[in-house]
Structure 1
Amino acid sequence: MPKFRIGTDDFKKLHDQDGYFVDKTLLIKEIIDGSDVTLIPRPRRFGKTLNMTMLKYFFEKSGENRSYLFEKYAIATHPQYMCHQGQYPVIYLTLKKIKGNTWADAKEQIIQMIGRCCSSADLSVSSLRLEDQEIYTSLVSFRPSDTILSLSLELLTLWLYEYHKKPVIILIDEYDTPMIEAWIRGYYDEMASFMREWLGAGLKQEHGHALFRAVITGILRIAKESIFSELNNLDVASPLMIGPFSDKFGFTEPEMKCILDAFHAQSHAGIIRDWYNGYSYGEQTIYNPWSVISYIQAIPNPPGPKWLNTSSNALVYEELATGGLEIKRDLEILLSGGEIRYPISETITFPDIGKNPMNIWSFLYYSGYLKAENPQPDLRGRITYQLSIPNREISYMYEHFIESLYD
């Protein structure tokens, strides 16, 4: 019987421990064929980190041959893409642990993260210019100036390019976790300013020769004016879009059939569909992967909320609780099994969320708490979506919110 290895989000570790992997390797093809910089927003626990580590092990130039990791997957049937395997210096950063109580705390965590990344980078310090050696030393000793910290992604990219004579691949996972934490803790402006300068310098088009591809994942697409204002080369793979990324995160119906067959769980198909299905990305119907694997691993135990238990719903509860009467009425419609229709804003900022219902529902959609279907223009020409609760698990969350609000 196969095993999912719940909690293992490192692709190589999952492979080497014979963990069950739903083949998403054609994401590699789309990154190679895609834009210089791609932002992929998806809800938490939808496979972002596993896919990002897969990209890392595919592209990274390493002392060991990692091609064996991909031999039995779909990408191996495409030699024109397999020739990219193991060919590039890679910068891999995950921001999911940047959760300071203050800006000073968060900044120190960022300094530590970047310093460790520089220390592990495959480059020769002695090959750097003297002034760059001093800058490198300040980074790895965790004492850079604010200016150097803001330029650190750009500098490391250029150093790796000059050393390897190959363009660099940048992978940044959960970029918006620090933004969410900063909004909750009250230092959003400082974090937004840093992220704008750091990403703007590291990913800007002027360094196109040094950058092969960059992939950024997160839950939200923070408005271009807030974070990505310096980037003219950014492509956003929105979950609303029909396109090649719509089936790369979460489980599709055909993938679910394979999973149920592999785990001899065909009789549980209806339960899983009722509890954990219902997301709509592009033209794909998507199952919540974390909930599915948690349920299957726990058979014969009954279904229940799995994904909701992985992190706090405090921000969602706060936004709903502070909303006005209109939001409460819309929530009542949703809980009764009905649908509401609103535009989905793809360029929200956190300060915008509470200003009108459209932004709150947009936030809930991107966070995985609503399903959006049937796009139609309204009288003003804006595209609106039919919004509903995707499944029983998410309905449970809303009911728990109501109980906590009106206990």
Structure 2
Amino acid sequence: ILIDEYDSPLQHSWHTPEHEVCTEMYRNVFAVLKNADQYEKFVFITGITKFTQVSLFSALNNLSNLSFLPEYATVCGITEDEIIENFTPEINVLAQRNNWSFDEAHQKLKEYYDGYHFCRRNMTDIYNPFSLVRALYDSYISNYWVSSGATSLLNKFVQNIEIRLEEFDNSYIDSDTLESSDVSSGVDELFLFQSGYLTIKKADEEGYYLGFPNEEVKRALSKIVIPTLTMKSQANVITAQSHSQS
């Protein structure tokens, strides 16, 4: 049984009267899964954010969270070895159409779409598969992140992002919060990590240092999200930036 993006309805109903109705529906479904355990060989549930504090999984409490296990750290993306092994022809086309060498095209892809890490015990670099595949299909380096829909939820879960933007690129969060807390706890860095805007840069015994994974995410935040959240037009933001630079 595969339940993909279980959290999407919960995200969009957050802080609305429909949220509890949605949560109760999930509880009923999960109760059925729990009661039918003897007939199930494998149940896999994916999502970006966690909603454990609303007792969503109280009816299905025999799940294992794979998110921070080293053997699964590369399961949701594309590694450096995989891109060379599987996408060399596409990288050659990208290079030719942009008058780059193969190494230059590869470096561009790395700067824009690589840099994710999901486990302190396995810090293998991971490319964003959605953006990487789109860039190779189009033979064009662009910001595909905004097409993923993640930006529309930022103003629900992150406060004053336009003011705190620079703080997030070297932020510290303790292990318990990152690994176990619910997105509804109100920790901005937690939502930004779970939704892909921040990634693990390094870790110590107590927690994690987070930062922006790549150029695509930085540009998505600075050029797309901020004008939306501050209710300014793109032209006004560019004008303000020009004045500040002058």
TM-score range, shorter chain: 0.7 to 0.9
**2:218 corresponding residue in structure 1:** 395
C-alpha contact (below 8 Å) 1:333/1:340 kept by paired residues: yes
> Does 1:229 pair with 2:58?
yes
* Cα 1:263/1:323, change in 2 over 3 Å: closer
Deviation per CA, 1:293-340, whole angstroms, max 9, x where unpaired? 1111112x4x220122232512113433x348xx934x2234xxx511
Shift of 1:348: 4.1
1:285 to 104, 113, 125: 125
* Cα 1:373/1:256, change in 2 over 3 Å: same
Shift of 1:259: 3.0
Shift of 1:349: 4.0
- Based on CA coordinates, which of the two structures has the bigger radius of gyration? 1
Matched residue SS, 2:70: coil
**1:183 corresponding residue in structure 2:** 14
Matched residue SS, 2:43: strand
1:385 to 196, 208, 222: 208
Deviation per CA, 1:66-112, whole angstroms, max 9, x where unpaired? xxxxxxxxxxxxxxxxxxxxxxxxxxxxxxxxxxxxxxxxxxxxxxx
Q: Distance in 2 between matches of 1:196 and 1:242?
A: 30
1:370 to 195, 198, 214: 198
The structure that is strand-richer by fraction is: 1
| 1:141-290 map, 5 Å | 170-183=1-14, 185-199=16-30, 201-204=31-34, 207-223=36-52, 226-238=55-67, 240-243=68-71, 245-265=72-92, 266-267=102-103, 268-282=105-119, 283=122, 284-290=124-130
C-alpha contact (below 8 Å) 1:221/1:346 kept by paired residues: no
C-alpha contact (below 8 Å) 2:90/2:137 kept by paired residues: no
1:292 maps to amino acid = L
Q: Distance in 1 between matches of 2:149 and 2:54?
A: 29
C-alpha contact (below 8 Å) 1:224/1:347 kept by paired residues: no
Shift of 1:202: 2.2
C-alpha contact (below 8 Å) 2:171/2:211 kept by paired residues: yes
Shift of 1:385: 0.8
Q: Distance in 2 between matches of 1:312 and 1:285?
A: 21
Q: Which runs of 5 or more residues in structure 2 are unaligned? A: 93-101, 238-246
Shift of 1:347: 4.2
Q: Distance in 2 between matches of 1:191 and 1:375?
A: 36
Q: Distance in 2 between matches of 1:203 and 1:233?
A: 11
The structure that is helix-richer by fraction is: 2
2:163 to 306, 323, 328: 328
C-alpha contact (below 8 Å) 1:184/1:315 kept by paired residues: no
> Does 1:339 pair with 2:163?
no
Structure 1 residue ranges (4+ consecutive) displaced by more than 6 angstroms after TM superposition: none
C-alpha contact (below 8 Å) 1:183/1:350 kept by paired residues: no
| 1:102-121 map, 5 Å | none
Matched residue SS, 2:42: strand
Matched residue SS, 1:250: coil
Matched residue SS, 1:372: strand
Shift of 1:270: 0.3
Q: Distance in 2 between matches of 1:171 and 1:286?
A: 23
Q: Which runs of 5 or more residues in structure 1 are unaligned? A: 1-169, 354-358, 378-382
Q: Distance in 1 between matches of 2:167 and 2:160?
A: 15
**What TM-score, normalized by structure 2, do the two folds share?**
0.77
Q: Distance in 1 between matches of 2:8 and 2:56?
A: 13
Question: What CA RMSD, in Å, does the superposition of the two structures yield over aligned residues?
Answer: 2.4
Identity value in percent = 26
1:392 maps to amino acid = E
C-alpha contact (below 8 Å) 2:157/2:191 kept by paired residues: no
**2:144 corresponding residue in structure 1:** 306
Q: Distance in 2 between matches of 1:403 and 1:193?
A: 35
* Cα 1:209/1:351, change in 2 over 3 Å: closer
